Amino acid sequence: MSAPTRWLDAEEQLAWRAFYSAATQLIDRLDRELQHDAGMPHAYYEILVVLSESPGRTRRMSELADLTRSSRSRLSHAVTKLEARGWVRRRDCDDDKRGQFADLTDVGFAAIEAAAPGHVETVRKHLFDALTEEQVEQLRKISEAITASLK
């Protein structure tokens, strides 16, 4: 016999709906503005950010998938699109014939540098400008707690 359903009470229901609405609307806004301003979806931006912050601007594809919370097939498709733009180059691993690396090209680095100011302004405008310093700290702690529970 399964455990009884732990229904949300009225306050939890309000909190859940407010969180879900804010999170989905913010991600949608970030995606639309990156698409409009930089010609790339947020998922591509995230890949470029991870590569730009990686030693030598390179990562194994499997690590890149994990770091961007993407399936390997979805990441492979995205990297193919990024390769077509000249932003990423894929290369085989020397020690593992099945593995591949994704390298951020200079053109890709220039694309992320060009997109970053607008993206940061969108994040600031739609997230941080709406919060007090105390709320920013609370948001960080709440987000860390949620992330920890999902691991």
Residue 87 lies in a domain: yes
- pLDDT greater than 90 at residue 87: yes
Residue 106 lies in a domain: yes
Residue 111 lies in a domain: yes
Closest CA to 44 of 21, 16, 74, 72: 74
CA gap 123, 21 in Å, rounded: 16
Residue 46 lies in a domain: yes
Residues pairing with 100 in the sheet: 92
Residue range 108-127: mean pLDDT, rounded: 96
Residue 10 lies in a domain: no
Length of the chain: 151
Residues 17-59 have pLDDT tens digits of: 999 999 999 999 999 999 999 999 999 999 999 999 999 999 9
- pLDDT greater than 80 at residue 92: yes
Q: What is this structure's pTM?
A: 0.86
Provide the 10 A C-beta neighbour count for residue 48.
24
How many domains is the chain partitioned into structurally?
1
Residue 133 lies in a domain: no
Domain that holds residue 68: 31-115
| CATH code, domain carrying 111 | 1.10.10.10
Amino acid 138: pLDDT: 97
Q: Would you give the distance in Å from CA 85 to the centre of its chain? A: 20
CA gap 124, 41 in Å, rounded: 18
Residue 137 lies in a domain: no
Higher-confidence residue of 30 and 96: namely: 30
CA gap 131, 141 in Å, rounded: 14
Residue 80 lies in a domain: yes
Amino acid 26: pLDDT: 95
Positive or negative CA dihedral for 24, 27, 30, 34? negative
